[in-house]
């Protein structure tokens, strides 16, 4: 895979001096779905707006399929579709015209067959003659996507596509995103919902206070999530670990009265049975056992709080 979008040391300081982006560097591969997770005010919308040229960067660069977003603005922008967070549609305009008009804005020749395909894909074809104001909130969001796709962009930004939508519609939106990916569209979406990132992303980025804290393959994050800890409470404190237990990666817990063993749930052998046997053979008496599992949410919360992710019970 090759990067279709390269963001280098992107900084944005708003008038008044607020530093919303503090040097973001990120490569986005052709055809991937990247979810950008971050709390309110993290800089997600600023990042998207800057990449799309709605806001000027203070410094740094963005290259879209080789086109610089400043010196080659028109070419770069024509490759991008943007679905904004806010629903900003003309209420009396009809669906078909709204979407057709968007294509024209990018100087693309009228192509009714293409618009029909897009509207059908988004289940909007039956509503093509409806005025926007007659649509439900979910349908309006679909129109925003159709508008963003009208000029056949190769990269689609979705800024919190499912904020405030019900569970069913959220799942629908996830299906739509998967279909767009199958069409070869590269998708970057921002979200507060960790389960959304889990459900659809290939890679997950975590942003906070204008800094990208992590960008990682979802599968490897899942492996981290797969990490579990078992804490064995002992009936009496131990000074040092018995030599017979030195082969295990064990940590001593609070007041040296517990042993903490971290293992991978996906491993063929977790080693728990042998560990428990060896603890007993070393003459230690167990009085309780607890397990904890770290989740993507723990990793996220830990990163955003500036600490280490903790395992969760």
Ligand X SMILES: Nc1ncnc2c1ncn2[C@@H]1O[C@H](COP(=O)(O)OP(=O)(O)OP(=O)(O)O)[C@@H](O)[C@H]1O
* Residues binding ligand X (CB under 6 A): 14, 16, 18, 20, 38, 40-46
Cβ proximity to ligand X: between 69 and 190 the closer is 190
CB of 195 to ligand X, least distance (A): 16
CA distance 93 to 56: 31
CB of 245 to ligand X, least distance (A): 46
CB of 80 to ligand X, least distance (A): 17
CA distances, 2 to each of 38, 39, 47, 53, 301 (Å): 26, 29, 21, 23, 31
**Cβ neighbour number for residue 289 with a 10 Å cutoff:** 13
CB of 248 to ligand X, least distance (A): 42
**Nearest of 312, 248, 239, 310 to residue 279 by alpha carbon:** 248
CA distance 6 to 25: 8
Cβ proximity to ligand X: between 18 and 73 the closer is 18
Cβ proximity to ligand X: between 169 and 212 the closer is 212
Cβ proximity to ligand X: between 44 and 142 the closer is 44
Contact 147, 99 (CB under 8 A): yes
Q: What is the token pair recorded at 106?
A: 């990018």
- What is the SS3 assignment for 257? coil
CB of 74 to ligand X, least distance (A): 24
CA distances, 236 to each of 16, 174, 256 (Å): 60, 52, 9
Cβ proximity to ligand X: between 64 and 207 the closer is 207
CB of 41 to ligand X, least distance (A): 4
Cβ proximity to ligand X: between 164 and 283 the closer is 164
**Count of helix runs (H) and strand runs (E) in the chain:** 10, 14
């Amino acid at each position: 895979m090759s990067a279709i979008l390269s963001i280098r040391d992107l900084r944005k300081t708003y008038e008044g001096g607020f530093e919303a982006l503090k040097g973001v560097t990120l490569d986005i591969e052709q055809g991937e779905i990247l979810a950008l997770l971050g709390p309110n005010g993290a800089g997600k919308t600023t990042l998207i707006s800057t990449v799309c040229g709605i806001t000027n960067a203070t410094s740094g660069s963005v290259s879209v399929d080789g086109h610089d977003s400043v010196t080659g603005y028109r070419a770069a922008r024509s490759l991008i579709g943007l679905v904004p967070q806010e629903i900003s549609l003309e209420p009396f305009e009809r669906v078909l015209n709204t979407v057709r008009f968007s294509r024209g804005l990018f100087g693309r020749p009228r192509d009714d067959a293409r618009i029909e395909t897009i509207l059908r894909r988004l289940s909007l074809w039956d509503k093509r003659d409806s005025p926007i104001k007659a649509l439900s909130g979910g349908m309006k969001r679909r129109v925003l996507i159709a508008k963003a796709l009208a000029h056949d962009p190769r990269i689609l930004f979705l800024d919190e596509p499912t904020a405030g939508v019900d569970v069913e519609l959220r799942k629908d939106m996830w299906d739509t995103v998967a279909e767009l990916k199958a069409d070869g569209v590269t998708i970057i979406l921002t979200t507060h919902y960790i389960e959304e990132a889990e459900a659809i992303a290939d890679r997950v980025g975590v942003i906070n206070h204008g800094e990208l804290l992590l960008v990682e393959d979802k599968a490897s994050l899942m492996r981290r999530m797969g990490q579990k800890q078992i804490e064995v409470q002992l009936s009496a404190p131990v000074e040092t670990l018995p030599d017979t237990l030195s082969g295990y990666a064990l940590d001593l817990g609070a007041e040296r009265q517990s042993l903490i063993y971290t293992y991978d749930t996906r491993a063929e052998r977790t080693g728990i049975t042998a560990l428990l046997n060896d603890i007993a053979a070393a003459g230690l008496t167990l009085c309780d056992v607890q397990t904890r599992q770290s989740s993507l949410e723990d990793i996220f919360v830990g990163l955003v709080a500036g600490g280490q992710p903790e395992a969760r019970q």
